[in-house]
Structure formats: C-alpha cells, structure tokens
Amino acid sequence: MSNAIFNEASVQWKRSAEDWQEAVRVSAGPLLQQGKITDDYVQAMITNIIELGPYIIIAPDVALPHARPEQGVNEKGIAITVFQQPVQFGEQSVRILICLAASDKETHLNLLQIISSWIGEDGLSQSMIATESRDELIHLLKNYFIEGEEI
Amino acid sequence: MKILAVCGMGFGSSLMLKMTIERVINKQGITADVESADLGTAEGMGADLILTNNEFVSQLEGGKSVVKAVKNVASEDEVAEAIQAFLDEQ
C-alpha cells in the first residue's frame, strides 16, 4: 500500500465515461487499487449522489466525489481524473473529478483545505482541462503531490 | 449576522464554502457566525444568509433566509461578492 496521499499513481487522464456513475467509479479506481478505499465506499459515493443530488460539484467543471470516513476508508488519499469529454451530472457537466477519501474528520478538513487552495487558484482547473495526455497532466500536477505524513 | 454554507451532504462542498466564507470575513473585518449544514437541516438554523451551489438554491428559497448561489466554493471573490450583495440589500 502506498503511503502517499496524492502522487503520480493517483492521476488519470481519460477520453470519456458512459455516464456519471461510471465516471465516479473510474475516479475512485486508483484509491481502490491502492487499497485505500473499499468497494462499499465507491457504492456509497454513488448512492449519496442519487439520494442527495449532485452536491459534489464544487466549482465550474470540477466535482469532488466523496463519502464519509466510516463508509469504507482504509487510508487517506486523493485521486484526480480529467475527462476529455464532459461528464453530465443532471444539468451540469464537469471535466475534473477529484475523488477524496479521508480516514477521519480532522483529515477530511485538512484535505478539503488543500483541495480548496487548488480550486481557488486562478487557472489551475482550466490548465488541467487543457492537458492532452496523462503525462502532461502529471507534469502540471507534480508540484501539488502530497507524500505520506505531511498532514 | 449568521451565514450558513449548505450542500447536499453537509460534509464536502459546504465545508469548503465555510472555509472560504471565514477567509473572506476575516480579511474584510466582517463579524459573522459561519456554519455549514446539509440541505435537510439548513432551514431550521435561522441563518440571515445562506450560500449554496446553483443546484440547491430553489430548494432553499422561500424561507426567512436570503439565499445566494456560489459557483466555485473556493473562490474568495465570488463569496465576497455574494456577501456584499446581501449587505447592500439590507
């Protein structure tokens, strides 16, 4: 299991997704593969969106799929997926999915603070959308990687 | 003044929005209580101003609180604008 919270292994660049449910599953892929979350967590994210609406859209073009720590998080982590084709959530669409898994409430707040600083930053999401390959996206994001116990 | 940040689950975008609101009011020297809530509990919290995303505006309107939409929950500019618009209306 990787100790890094966010690194190259958690960056994905995809052409498209069938629908938002597939996009959420894809966005969770790296965290699932690294053993940081369980299948239950993935299902909880989807169920929450069905029940509560697309509350995960945090900015134009950006969604933050997440559930609660007790819904299946083994270890904290962030995965970012950029889709070349917009993913439709109801009437809105997004291109960036930031899948968040926090192991407890305090970590959750810390990770939200970090993501907030990325999204509040002028132009970062537009630069992410403008990338044309996974390598390009990794190059753009490498300054934002978070190793093990930094938080 | 009480400002409430609202989202569907009360555990993601509403918390990010709350952080942004706190940064904005600290910078501008505005005194306000800031809380976050999910859609279900927002109504009973007696806020003067509710900030939320576009999706939830219509569901929150019609109560005592003024409701304003914020597209980017991390944008200090957008939040500052919404709070200023609210203050100007008072």
Mean pLDDT (10-residue bins), chain A, 151 residues:
84 98 98 97 95 87 94 96 96 95 92 94 92 98 86 66
Beta bridge partners of A80: A11, A98
- At A2 the pLDDT is 55
Q: Do A60 and B54 touch (CB under 8 A)?
A: no
Number of domains in chain B: 1
Residue A3 lies in a domain: no
Residue A149, domain member (yes or no):
no
Give yes or no for a contact between B37 and B6, defined as CB atoms under 8 angstroms apart. Answer: yes
Predicted confidence at residue A149, as pLDDT, reads 67
Kindly give the parts of chain B with pLDDT less than 70: none
Range of the domain at B60: 2-89
CATH number of the domain bearing residue A17:
3.40.930.10
Chain B residues lying within 8 Å of A109, measured CB to CB: 15
- Chain B contact for A47 (CB, 8 A cutoff): no
List the CATH number of the domain containing B85.
3.40.50.2300
At B35, the amino acid letter reads E
Residues of A with Cβ-Cβ distance to B71 under 8 angstroms: 59-60
Q: For residue B59, what is the nearest residue in chain A, using CA coordinates?
A: A53
Nearest CA in chain A to B19: A113
Q: Rounded to whole angstroms, how far apart are CA atoms B16 and A120?
A: 10
**CA–CA min distance A6, chain B (Å):** 18
How many domains is chain A built from? 1
Q: Note the pLDDT of residue B81.
A: 97
Nearest to A58 among B11, B73, B76 (CB): B73
- With respect to residue A112, please indicate whether it lies within any of the assigned structural domains: yes
At residue A23, the pLDDT reads 98
Whether residue A115 lies within 8 A of chain B, CB to CB, comes out as: yes
Does residue A148 form part of some domain?
A: no
The pLDDT value recorded for residue B23 is: 97
For residue B51, which residues of chain A lie inside 8 Å, CB to CB? none
| Burial class for A144, CB neighbours closer than 10 Å (0-12, 13-18, 19+) | middle
The confidence score (pLDDT) of residue B15 equals: 94
Does B19 lie at the interface with A, CB-CB under 8 angstroms? Answer: yes
B57 and chain A in contact, CB less than 8 A: no
Q: Do B74 and A52 touch (CB under 8 A)?
A: no
Domain residues for the domain of A128 are 8-143
B74–A55 CB contact, under 8 Å: no
Sign of CA dihedral B37, A74, A5, A22: negative
Q: Is the ipTM of this complex over 0.90?
A: no
Distance from CA of A17 to the nearest CA of B (A): 22
B8 reaches A (C-beta below 8 A): yes
Residue A61 parent element (H or E): strand A61-63
